[in-house]
Amino acid sequence: MPKPTEFVREQVSSVRDTVASAAASAAAEASTVSDTVTSHVGDFIRNQRSSAHVSLRELARSAGVSNPYLSQVERGLRKPSAEILSAIARGLKISAETLYEQAGILDRRSGTAGTVAAIRADEALSERHKAVLLELYETYAREQARDVAAPADVGAGPPALPELSTPAESTPAPGTPSTKELA
């Protein structure tokens, strides 16, 4: 009969092997997807360029990339970095996110703006406030992801924070319901 520490090590090794095998399988699939995506974003760029009646050299100049490389990208022979895609998007006068989606860098989400992006774009907050909110958000998202996998005790919850209901000056502006009213 194996000793407890040996048993734990065997279990850990077994789990790691399983994880490694799954990762290898996922990587193989990702490689195929990557080739398809590469030629797809190239077709998209060439179509956008044709629609704008711009030559390859003109787009390359305005994007700040070399024209042979742009040709290779359009023909699906090269996989451009996000930096190059961003430059090409500027040259085409379209949003970088559009090319990122074609390139598989961004998923095609249905409408909802990311919380992170919204916080970062919010001009009602200072940089310090933003940093704190983002850190807290990531912590909560991580906790939630963990709790979904292994539900915790009902009593567990987020860290306690200072009470807010005090001076009248903290009353929200008209037309801006507080979170308590919405709850």
Partner DNA sequence: GCACACCGCTTGCAACAGCTAGCACCGCTG
Partner DNA sequence: CAGCGGTGCTAGCTGTTGCAAGCGGTGTGC
Using the contact rule CB under 7 A, the part of the chain among 76-84, 104-112, 134-142, 144-152 near DNA is 76-84
66 closest CA partner among 158, 40, 74 = 74
Task: Classify residue 141 by its DSSP letter.
Answer: H
Q: Nearest 5°: CA angle at 44, between 40 and 50?
A: 145
| Residue 78 vs 120, nearer CB to a second copy | 120
| Residue 57 vs 146, nearer CB to DNA | 57
Contacts of 137-145 with C-beta under 8 Å, sequence gap 24+, read none
Using the contact rule CB under 7 A, the part of the chain among 60-68, 103-111, 112-120, 137-145 near DNA is 60-68
Binding track over 33-72 against a second copy, x by CB under 8 A: -x-------------x--xx--------x--x--------
| Residue 1 vs 113, nearer CB to a second copy | 113
Measured CA to CA, the distance from residue 180 to residue 172 in angstroms comes to: 11
Q: Nearest 5°: CA angle at 144, between 142 and 150?
A: 105
Return the residue of 164, 168, 174, 175 that touches a second copy, per CB under 8 A: 164
| Residue 53 vs 108, nearer CB to DNA | 53
By the 8 A CB rule, do 89 and 95 touch? yes
132 closest CA partner among 172, 161, 170, 92 = 161
Where do contacts with DNA occur on this chain (CB under 7 A)? 3-5, 9, 12, 55-58, 64-69, 71-72, 74-75, 78-81, 83-84, 169, 173, 176, 179-180, 182-183
